[in-house]
């Protein structure tokens, strides 16, 4: 495929947010280039199981969805952003169906087909539209197929962004993005891309932890790129740990969907006794932060390796119809979920903070946007409610599209940009250092900056981050870039941002729980944590 290095819009990331925006822009005769770090199917969207929250049930309401989201966000959601997002739920689902996404349906009493709705943690009603238990895959494949067929979209796989290219701050004090240096990992060369607009749609940073439900691509690239370029980040202390990741030495990244609990799955101890009722009256349907801490507490208190999620009281036909992917995947590890409980542990799942944006996905740098998990829009606050993430991708892709189309005619073409200079670097014969640093970082983040934190643990983690940053910076300055090295360079920045935000928050709120400050700080209104470069 020929290179298109001077598109109108360069989108970094090929998940639900990036591809949705690309299709929306291209439908208005805008030329878009989409960069995918690995294969197009390597995004977090592709692996999302649960679904997309939207109000369809007559007994539900927009106000109820808003209230549930605000409650889960523990006082830090932006109410205007929540309302904006929730009110676009139905139109977002309609748009996906127009792109060919097929959602699970059921028949109403009159025999008419309607969308089947799941209920997940934090939701007071059934409002999760889904495609069996592989919603993300259905969405991703449909969007990929549409994008591949569109003449206005160029898709480039195996391209990792090294750094953004920006102009100096002008008189008003705002930088402008001009393009990016991009590593073509298949041809082992760095190319210069210029664009009028650049969009970060790179997903989250959950590979900062040794246990994660995310694909290996979730290394916080967009957050680090924006931070190095001069953007603010916000609320990075709120890393969501999904309560139920399959506990198995081979499959520790396989997620057991929230919908299993929504359909009656019970969390039990090894002796078969339930425990969630001791922590929250909503039991298994409490928000994720509460469920994850409850599991973590039971595991540590009892010295057990995992707890169990049991859906076997449901009929085999029900389980196989509602959870075909989970059923088949567990069978591969000799776990028949129709007859036995599933061993589960919490795992890093979603980055609630990120690059600070406004309601049109604009960042601090002119013509640089951030959409999806990479962004901190104000929707999630201190804890994301289940199935609000894909909704956010769709709504803010539409918002960004509206703003970009309005601005594009007024943005001059990018000036000639300097080529990447690697004249003073050599090929590395010490790549084992990257692997060692990667493992060290993910282990101490899990141990010290995980579900339960303390000031001492955070201080220890920061000391290690500072040492790693020096080693990585020295390595980066001497050797030609590789995809692994770029990920590690980004991940250590993100780890530092998580720790710094956590150290600033002297209370326990949402996903941030510290033994040194176990209660909410009632002395002042809830505050977002904002870091400036």
Over pLDDT 90: what percentage of the chain? 84
Q: Does domain 243-348 have CATH number 3.90.700.10?
A: yes
Q: Which two tokens stand for residue 204?
A: 């989250």
| C-alpha angle 262-263-269 in degrees, rounded to nearest 5 | 80
pLDDT value for 258: 85
- pLDDT, tens digit, 9 for 90 and up, residues 37-94: 999 999 999 999 889 999 999 999 999 999 999 999 999 999 999 999 999 999 999 9
The listed CATH number (3.40.50.300, 3.30.70.260, 3.50.50.60, 3.40.50.970) that belongs to domain 9-237+352-410? 3.50.50.60
Average pLDDT over residues 125-130: 96
69 Cβ partners below 8 Å, 6+ apart?
77, 82, 85, 86, 122, 379, 385, 388
Q: Is 442 assigned a catalytic role?
A: no
Residue 1 has pLDDT above 50, yes or no: no
Comparing CA positions, the residue from 168, 188, 186, 187 lying closest to residue 178 is 168
Over pLDDT 70: what percentage of the chain? 98
Residue 3 has pLDDT above 80, yes or no: no
Sheet of 233-234: strand order equals 375-376, 354-356, 233-234, 530-531
Q: Which of 146, 288, 453, 509 is labelled catalytic?
A: 288
- pLDDT, tens digit, 9 for 90 and up, residues 328-365: 999 999 999 999 999 999 999 999 999 999 999 999 99
Domain 432-517, CATH: 1.20.58.100
Q: Which two tokens stand for residue 228?
A: 């190095």
Which CB contacts under 8 angstroms, 24+ apart, belong to 470-479?
471/433, 471/437, 472/437, 475/428, 475/430, 475/433, 475/434, 477/425, 478/425, 478/426, 478/428, 479/425, 479/426, 479/427, 479/428, 479/430
For the chain, the structural domain boundaries read: 9-237+352-410, 243-348, 432-517
> pLDDT confidence of 392, banded at 50, 70, 90?
very high
Tokens 């929730």 -> residue: 86
The distance between the two most distant Cα atoms of the chain, rounded to a whole number of Å, is: 73
Comparing CA positions, the residue from 466, 239, 449 lying closest to residue 354 is 239
pLDDT value for 252: 64
Average pLDDT over residues 473-497: 94
Residue 2 has pLDDT above 50, yes or no: no
Q: What is the mean pLDDT of the chain?
A: 94
Distance CA 240, CA 347 (A): 8
Pairing outcome for strands 375-376 and 354-356: parallel
Comparing CA positions, the residue from 404, 420, 418, 399 lying closest to residue 366 is 404
348 Cβ partners below 8 Å, 6+ apart?
206, 207, 208, 209, 211, 212, 213, 214, 239, 240, 241, 242
pLDDT value for 191: 95
């Amino acid at each position: 495929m020929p290179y298109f290095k001077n598109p109108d819009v360069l989108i970094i990331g090929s998940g639900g947010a990036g591809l949705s925006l690309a299709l929306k822009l291209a439908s208005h005769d805008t030329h878009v280039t989409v960069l995918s770090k690995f294969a197009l199917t390597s995004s977090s969207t592709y692996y999302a199981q649960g679904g997309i929250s939207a109000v369809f049930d007559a007994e539900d309401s927009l106000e109820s969805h808003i209230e549930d989201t605000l409650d889960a966000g523990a006082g830090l959601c932006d109410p205007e952003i929540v309302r904006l997002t929730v009110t676009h739920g139905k139109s977002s689902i309609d748009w996906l169906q127009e792109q060919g996404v097929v959602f699970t349906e059921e028949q109403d009493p009159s025999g008419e087909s309607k969308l089947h709705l799941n209920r997940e943690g934090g939701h007071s009603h059934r409002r999760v539209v889904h495609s069996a238990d592989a919603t993300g895959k259905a969405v991703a494949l449909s969007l990929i197929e549409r994008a591949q067929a569109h003449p206005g979209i160029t898709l480039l796989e195996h391209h990792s962004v090294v750094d953004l290219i920006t102009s100096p701050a002008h008189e008003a004090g705002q930088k402008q993005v001009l393009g990016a240096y991009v590593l073509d990992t298949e041809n082992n060369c760095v190319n210069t891309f210029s664009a009028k607009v650049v969009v970060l749609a790179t997903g989250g940073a959950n590979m900062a932890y040794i246990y994660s439900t995310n694909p290996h691509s979730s290394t916080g690239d967009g957050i680090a790129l924006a931070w190095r370029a001069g953007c603010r980040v916000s609320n990075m202390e709120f890393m969501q740990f999904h309560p139920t990741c399959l506990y198995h030495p081979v499959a520790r990244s396989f997620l057991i969907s929230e919908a299993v609990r929504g359909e009656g799955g019970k969390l039990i101890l090894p002796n078969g006794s339930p425990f969630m009722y001791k922590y929250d009256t909503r039991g298994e349907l409490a928000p994720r932060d509460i469920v994850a801490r409850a599991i973590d507490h039971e595991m540590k208190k009892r010295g057990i390796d995992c707890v169990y999620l049991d859906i076997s009281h449901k009929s085999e036909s029900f389980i196989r119809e509602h959870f075909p992917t989970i059923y088949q995947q567990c069978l591969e590890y000799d776990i028949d979920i129709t007859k036995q409980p599933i061993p589960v542990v919490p795992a890093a799942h979603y980055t609630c903070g990120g690059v600070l944006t406004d309601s049109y996905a604009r960042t601090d740098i002119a013509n640089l946007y951030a959409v999806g998990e990479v962004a901190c829009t104000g929707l999630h606050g201190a804890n994301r409610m289940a199935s609000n993430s894909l909704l956010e991708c769709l709504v803010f892709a539409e918002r960004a599209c509206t703003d970009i189309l309005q601005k594009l005619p007024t943005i001059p073409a990018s000036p000639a940009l300097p080529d990447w200079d690697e004249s003073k670097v050599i090929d590395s014969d010490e790549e084992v250092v990257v692997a060692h640093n990667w493992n060290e970082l993910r282990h101490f983040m899990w141990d010290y900056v995980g579900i339960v934190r303390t000031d001492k643990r955070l201080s220890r983690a920061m000391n290690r981050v500072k040492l790693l940053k020096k080693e990585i910076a020295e390595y980066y300055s001497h050797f030609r870039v590789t995809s692994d090295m770029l990920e590690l360079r980004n991940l250590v920045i993100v780890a530092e941002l998580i720790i710094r935000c956590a150290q600033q928050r002297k209370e326990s709120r949402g996903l941030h729980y510290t033994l040194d400050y176990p209660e909410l700080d009632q002395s002042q209104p809830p505050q977002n944590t904002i870091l400036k470069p």
